[in-house]
Structure 1
Amino acid sequence: MHFIKGRQSGTRRSVLRNWQRQLQKIRSRCGSKETNMTTLTDKHKKKTAAPRKISTAFLLLFIVITNPLAAYGSNANVPEPGKTQETTQESVQQESQPDTPEAQKEDQLNVLPAADPDLAQIPDQNEPVYEPVSHTQDTFFYRKTLKGIYSSTDLYFYVEDYWDTKYVYAKIQYDVSQLIESAASSVTFSVNDVPVQSYKLEYKDGNSQILYVKIPMDQVHTGFNSLSVSAYARLFDEQGCVDDYSDANWLSIADTSYIRCGYESRDPEHRISYYPYPFMAAYEPAGKGLVIAVSDKAASGEVAAAMNLMADLSKHTGKRNDIELCRISDLKNYQPSETILISDYNDLPSEYKDKITKAPDSSGNAIVNFIDDSNAKPLLIITSNDDSSLMEAADMLMDENRRKQETGNLAVIEKGSGQLAVNAAKQSDMTAWNYTLEDIMGSGLSYVGPFHQEKYIYLPVSKDFVLAQGGKAVLKFRYSENLDFKRSLITVFWGDVPCASKRLSQEKASGDELTFEMPGDVTGTSASSLKITFDLELPDLLCTPRQSDMPWAYVSRESAIFLPPAADITLSFDSRVSPFSRNGKFNDVLLILSDEPTSVELNLLGQTLAMYGEEAKPYGTILVKRAGEFNGKEGDYNIITAGTRNGNAFISQINNNLAFKFAQDGASFESNEQLVLSREYAGKIGIMQLLKSPYSLNRGMLVLTGSNDETLKNLLDYLRDSSKREELKKDCVIIDASQNITALKFIKDEEGKEGPTLAEKLVRNRRSLVFTAIATSAMFLMLLAVIIILLRMRSYRKKNEE
């Protein structure tokens, strides 16, 4: 293997010395100019009238107030929330010093490791043999295709902290183009940027091939690990000339390829920091045997905390979610292998009170205690004398930074401790959508090699993210000077939609910039990534260049992206999370239970929260009320309810708002203009209906209903299957006893096209209105001040003239 760092680092040192000499010359020249400029300024100040100064200041203030994004676009180094300007200046000074580690990190170009094909080994086609282990975890990938002379892709695998990992290896099934048959080619594998193995590539009559890569355990760490695959083709003949159609040279990695980890599970030692292990583990991805129980009273705080943990634990489930939710008295019906028990201390049965290490005090603090139940199975008890503190305990378990601090089996959560995190999130809400590449990736983006090169920036946004108007990007980059600048350019994509491009130029090779606003046609859409591509064309390329002469480009880690989220809601199962989840957190969710909720009802609501909480983060808002407690005047929430008309009084109350209304006896549904229901069929179906909340503007409601418990169980079984959740479409879904679905649309698009009412606009644009009001008030005060000063000056002049 060979790298190009030595030659480039020497060149950089010489360039830096030249820059320093030039900088000293410029500073020496500027000394006298600054003096002259100061003198001219002083003269200008004496000649300039006061009204002109005031008008100029007023004009500048007007521009800054009315165009805040201009400041963002012209300065990508705005201090982050919580950082002072001094901190930012210190970081800039550090980056300007070439000898600091940070500067070296910035200057280094991430070069593709390329093995000499003549020295690479023949691929190992024998699966590695290791000592047997209790558990294995396979990570599969989407199909990947590498093209060109040099190309690379990354595959990722995750190692849990409770794994005692014994071995890791990769099975790669691949195909290569026929062009490889006449070219020397190799593929190199690197683990966490450390090269570990290189193999020679050969074409074998178009047949798929398999190779194995043993991954050294000393290169594997807890958390995410990367396996980089770098391909190299030396396309030349004896005279050194090549076929420059390098895209015909490709390596395709099949989606049957995987990375396998063999491991033993560590003893949890009743440590809370290991949560969600052993209650959820990779070797039981469905969560079978895990039961979350609340007291028989099912107080509001208990149910809210249980639903929050249900959503959090469901993130770790696979194709099916078998986690159960019930009351304590029903636990014996499930025979759980792991139990999470959430209860007010006064409602906790004595058999559990006797087991806990420490009882909660009267201050309202919550207790989390990891012990064993009477059958020596894992038991996590969450209890408090204050019902509202139970939700804070659930948030602590979901917050990894806080949970990792609890290395024992008992944690005391102080009442109000979670509010600190909630307030911090609210304060940073206006600036949380400013990202730099360093924030997202920890470094810049490197491109090495001729022709088309592309890299993805996977955005740190939730699945419910939708781009609002005003999105912007400021990319700072540099590139080599050996390019054909008539044909070389950079292009940026929002997902797969091109947004902006710029032709490269030799004059700006050492420091170029691309600033653009997101086009209008991507506003209101979502994407999980930005794609930045470079077309690095070389003049008269007839031969494969040496790696040290390869064209390159580098996008600086200071490049910034501003991605404001849209505030509108989407009432459709296609969107999956809106409006009940926003920015990965539950968005003002109100669960309305029947006065005597059954296990089926609790489980149905739990699976619904699991569906909408795919990315459940702590500190979201979930409230719980009984149907008899609900007051429509307090309905400014996104409401979810479940049950039958006869069992849940709230469903009876909103019956006239439903697309499919209940018959008078509540034993079946009535037909409507879109679907006529037979009498027998109408009594055997369950229905999921989304509708606009009748209690608040810009809020949604989800109603899961059936005529009896059997129809509700059909809904529950359907939602347990993650693949079936993906089939949910439109805003109303009927599910029959065979779990066949019928999707209908009742919320018409025309309603959205007519535009929101004035009241809805006020609700949706509260922040903008506040900002506009403040800016307008400031402008008015400034104008008033200017008028007063002008009047006084005029009066003063008249007195002087008299």
Structure 2
Amino acid sequence: MWKKLRNMGVVLFIIFFISSILPVNKQVVLASSTDDSKKATREQNISQILSTNPENAKEPNTSKPSVPNANYSKDISFSQTTLKGIYSSKDLFFYVPDYWDTKYVYAQIQYDVSELMEGLSSSMTFSINNRPIESCAISYNKGNTQIVYVKIPRSLVKKGYNSLTISGYAKLYDEEGCMDDFSGANWMSIDDTSFIRCGYDIKNTNHMIAEYPYPFMSTTEASGKGLTIAVSDKATDGEVAAAMNLMSDLSSKTENKNDIQFSLLSDIEKTNPNRTILISDYENLPSEYKSKITDSSNLSKYATVAFVDDSKGNPLLIITSKKDECLLEAAYMLMDEDRVSQEKTSIAKVKYGSKDIAMNSKTLSKMVAGNYTIKDIMGSGMTFVGPFHQEQNIFLPFSEDYFLSDAGKVTLNFRYSNNLDFNRSMITVYWGNVPVASKKLTKSKASGDELTFVMPEDVVGTTTGSIKIAFDLELKDLVCTPRQDEMPWAYVSEDSTLFLPASTGIVLTFDLKPSPFRTDGKFNDLMMLISDKPTSDELNLLAQIIGMYGQGVDPYGTFCVKRESEFSKKDSDYNIITAGTYNDNKVIKSMNNKLHFSYTKDGNKFNSNEQLILSDSYAGEIAIMQLLESPFANNRGVLAITATNKDSLSYVDKFMRSSKKRLSLSKDCAIIDHDLKLKTYQFINKVDKVKEPTVIGTLMQHKQSLLFTIISTSVMVMLLIAVIIILIRIRMYYQKNGKEDDKN
């Protein structure tokens, strides 16, 4: 009887504790398909889970659920993860596009339970978007891997991102009501073979531009196979720039392979497309495509985007204008989800200059870029419950080109229970998995504590996807502490700030691919140099390079295209991408003495260098991707894709189509042979490049001192002016009186 009363007291305390952090108006029950209450919160979810008794959880469902027929299915897999302590949870995310007609969703979770759990009560609860949907008992099974199936109600699955939360709750105390030594140990592992499976059909397209990029890119063809991006045979600079921007955006939606083709219009049949995006000046359009543009008026001020069918009945998107610059405006509109979603018909008009409004709005917020609060990212504060080591991740909203500047600064406001063993309790902050700051917890500051620190020098110039906050909440005499004693907790408030501005320095390495060609998520003063008469092969190769550097790119960057024969010193202040051979690309030829692997005098082979001696045959049949410090401007970079012939250049095209091979690129020089084998070398000292301080970051970090200095200086200047005026008035007064005395 005493044990039951004691356990009931524990449950009541936990409910009281969670309620003290966030009041809950009524007890939440397992969500059903008819549940239409307001959006659930994470704290409410924790409250419900901790109010249950693991002993009452049902046995796990080990039978694969019966599901309705669906034409397509998609599996979302996850990395291996662990649950530990009294309460622990992990979030798994999956995405549901607008064009899906979802038929079913279920999860197959494969897990292993530690022998430490033998004979102890524990449960696993599954929640969709913070709504609990199912709970099951967990038990040790002689070291064997176990599987549980969880059917997810379709009514709780929303368009866009969804979270499946797996929460573990374990009663880690013995018959005497004392905590066990292993309360902080890992007691369950979720394998990376676990997945969420979504069955769906595809909704019919209504030829609405708002549906873009569907049907040109969709989950039914995740590699982009069958999609061709084409430009006219004249391939004007504006056509190629607009098309390359769309290529970068669409490549972000490919998965393991990028099969999107890029060609001149005359070569389009060779790519065998069943979906086409055509970008062309109106005067360069063949008549069969002009006839599909029903309104050609004002094309000198506008670009027209038309979603039609081609002669075979396949989807065709035509982007055309009589003004070359308008084509890029149209591409930006298609890349901007907020703008494209407004186009509810098959025809859209994009006015020249419309991108400037969006670009100016981005500029206005540049001074506060990288300045976030916990609420901005997480939606609320962060709650930590239970003894021992507790940790949570803050997933940062950084683009792939982000690198931390030396002005990074973090301020965490937090509070915690006052029953801790303050000799052993502390908070630690990690940049990814690298510890960057810690602080011992004290009883005197339990109701309001603060940790402020600047980011250490060794993480400046690096990037990460998350910041981890960990609390070690230790109790005195824990092994014999009755369970009805207070549960330790900590809370990081939502007004905690993360000032993490991006570095303005360039990093020339394939390990950090977006630099220097992107910054703040957009193309960074990028110039693509192409031949005077580019071929489909050349454009296809460059499109794959842009596809790699454009992963996740935002619109409204600075991207231009120029013929390499027209390149001059006035064009030098750009980051440059170009491809070709010694004999057909004058820019590559002019940089020969700057290349890591230079050409021989006749351009038919590459020379050996201090890092690799090349055989004669090998030197004439390889392609080399070379990242260089620009010889034309300071703090700029050049990517030269070099080869001795066009066949060798095709190795790079084939290599770049595999995401696995792209990820294997490293250092600043990559050799690719005819078997697509890769060798990489480092020639540039990249360390010095990443520590360059940012002016904006420095100003923001010391903004209070700067403000004080400005005000103080202003006051001093005003006082000085006042003194000068007074002295002048006194001098004038004495001069006047002196003259009057002389007259008298």
Global fold match (TM > 0.5): yes
Distance 1:384 1:797 in 2: 72
2:455 maps to which residue? Answer: 518
SS at match of 1:164: strand
- 2:451 equivalent to 1:442: no
Give the share of equivalent positions with the same residue, in percent. Answer: 51
Distance 1:6 1:152 in 2: 17
Distance 2:711 2:170 in 1: 64
SS at match of 1:306: helix
Give the 5 Å matches for 1:419-458. 419-458=356-395
SS at match of 2:181: coil
- 2:164 equivalent to 1:155: no
Deviation per CA, 1:79-98: give whole Å up to 9, x if none: xxxxxxxxxxxxxxxxxxxx
Cα gap change, 1:347 to 1:773, in 2 (>3 Å):
farther
Q: Contact between 1:581 and 1:587, CA under 8 Å: does it hold in 2?
A: yes
2:609 maps to which residue? Answer: 672
Cα gap change, 1:648 to 1:554, in 2 (>3 Å):
same
Cα gap change, 1:684 to 1:233, in 2 (>3 Å):
same
2:543 maps to which residue? Answer: 606
Distance 1:188 1:750 in 2: 47
Cα gap change, 1:9 to 1:240, in 2 (>3 Å):
closer
SS at match of 1:245: helix
Aligned residue pair count: 706
Distance 1:625 1:670 in 2: 29
SS at match of 2:650: helix
Q: Contact between 1:660 and 1:670, CA under 8 Å: does it hold in 2?
A: yes
Distance 2:721 2:543 in 1: 64
Deviation per CA, 1:114-152: give whole Å up to 9, x if none: 442221111111111212211111011110001111111
Q: Contact between 1:360 and 1:366, CA under 8 Å: does it hold in 2?
A: no
1:714 maps to which residue? Answer: 651
- 2:73 equivalent to 1:144: no
The Cα of 1:541 is off from its aligned counterpart by 2.7
Q: Contact between 2:108 and 2:150, CA under 8 Å: does it hold in 1?
A: yes
1:113 maps to which residue? Answer: 49
Q: Contact between 1:109 and 1:446, CA under 8 Å: does it hold in 2?
A: no
1:488 maps to which residue? Answer: 425
SS at match of 1:574: helix
1:7 maps to which residue? Answer: 16
The Cα of 1:773 is off from its aligned counterpart by 12
Deviation per CA, 1:731-756: give whole Å up to 9, x if none: 11111111112222232469869x99
Cα gap change, 1:3 to 1:257, in 2 (>3 Å):
farther
SS at match of 2:366: coil
Give the 5 Å matches for 1:399-438. 399-438=336-375
The Cα of 1:412 is off from its aligned counterpart by 0.9
Give the 5 Å matches for 1:225-264. 225-248=162-185, 250-264=187-201
SS at match of 1:118: helix
Give the 5 Å matches for 1:658-737. 658-737=595-674
Q: Contact between 1:467 and 1:566, CA under 8 Å: does it hold in 2?
A: yes
SS at match of 2:656: helix
Deviation per CA, 1:675-701: give whole Å up to 9, x if none: 332222222111111111111110000
TM-score with structure 1 length normalisation? 0.82
Cα gap change, 1:616 to 1:4, in 2 (>3 Å):
farther
Q: Contact between 2:179 and 2:482, CA under 8 Å: does it hold in 1?
A: no
Distance 2:353 2:721 in 1: 50
Distance 2:134 2:48 in 1: 14
Cα gap change, 1:105 to 1:215, in 2 (>3 Å):
closer
The Cα of 1:248 is off from its aligned counterpart by 3.6
Q: Contact between 2:42 and 2:130, CA under 8 Å: does it hold in 1?
A: no
Give the 5 Å matches for 1:370-769. 370-542=307-479, 549-748=486-685
Q: Which amino acid aligns with 1:187?
A: M
Distance 1:677 1:143 in 2: 43
The Cα of 1:708 is off from its aligned counterpart by 1.7
Distance 1:723 1:191 in 2: 32
Distance 2:97 2:377 in 1: 22
The Cα of 1:403 is off from its aligned counterpart by 1.1
Q: Contact between 2:178 and 2:482, CA under 8 Å: does it hold in 1?
A: no
The Cα of 1:462 is off from its aligned counterpart by 1.6
Distance 2:87 2:311 in 1: 61
2:266 maps to which residue? Answer: 329
Distance 2:41 2:227 in 1: 46
Cα gap change, 1:477 to 1:357, in 2 (>3 Å):
farther
Q: Contact between 2:428 and 2:471, CA under 8 Å: does it hold in 1?
A: yes
TM-score with structure 2 length normalisation? 0.88
Cα gap change, 1:153 to 1:508, in 2 (>3 Å):
same
Cα gap change, 1:109 to 1:492, in 2 (>3 Å):
farther
Deviation per CA, 1:218-256: give whole Å up to 9, x if none: 111111111111111112333323423213451100000
Distance 1:539 1:175 in 2: 31
Deviation per CA, 1:661-683: give whole Å up to 9, x if none: 23333333233343332222222
Distance 1:620 1:506 in 2: 51
1:186 maps to which residue? Answer: 123
Give the 5 Å matches for 1:241-320. 241-248=178-185, 250-320=187-257
Q: Contact between 1:275 and 1:397, CA under 8 Å: does it hold in 2?
A: yes
Cα gap change, 1:633 to 1:777, in 2 (>3 Å):
farther
Q: Which runs of 5+ in 1 are unaligned?
A: 15-100
The Cα of 1:465 is off from its aligned counterpart by 1.5
The Cα of 1:765 is off from its aligned counterpart by 5.3
Cα gap change, 1:548 to 1:413, in 2 (>3 Å):
farther
- 2:127 equivalent to 1:208: no
Q: Which amino acid aligns with 2:70?
A: V
Q: Which amino acid aligns with 1:153?
A: K
Distance 1:767 1:634 in 2: 29
SS at match of 1:183: coil
Distance 2:323 2:123 in 1: 65
Cα gap change, 1:673 to 1:519, in 2 (>3 Å):
closer
The Cα of 1:498 is off from its aligned counterpart by 2.0
SS at match of 1:293: strand
- 2:302 equivalent to 1:365: yes
SS at match of 2:394: strand
Distance 1:767 1:7 in 2: 43
Q: Which amino acid aligns with 1:490?
A: I
Cα gap change, 1:112 to 1:744, in 2 (>3 Å):
farther
Q: Contact between 1:600 and 1:712, CA under 8 Å: does it hold in 2?
A: no
Distance 2:728 2:533 in 1: 80
2:33 maps to which residue? Answer: none
Distance 1:469 1:304 in 2: 34
SS at match of 2:579: strand
Distance 2:41 2:609 in 1: 65
Distance 1:4 1:283 in 2: 50
SS at match of 2:361: helix
Q: Contact between 1:165 and 1:264, CA under 8 Å: does it hold in 2?
A: yes
CA root-mean-square deviation: 3.2
Q: Which amino acid aligns with 1:113?
A: I
Distance 1:6 1:250 in 2: 24
| Bigger mean CA deviation after superposition, 673-682 or 316-325 | 673-682
Q: Which amino acid aligns with 1:602?
A: L
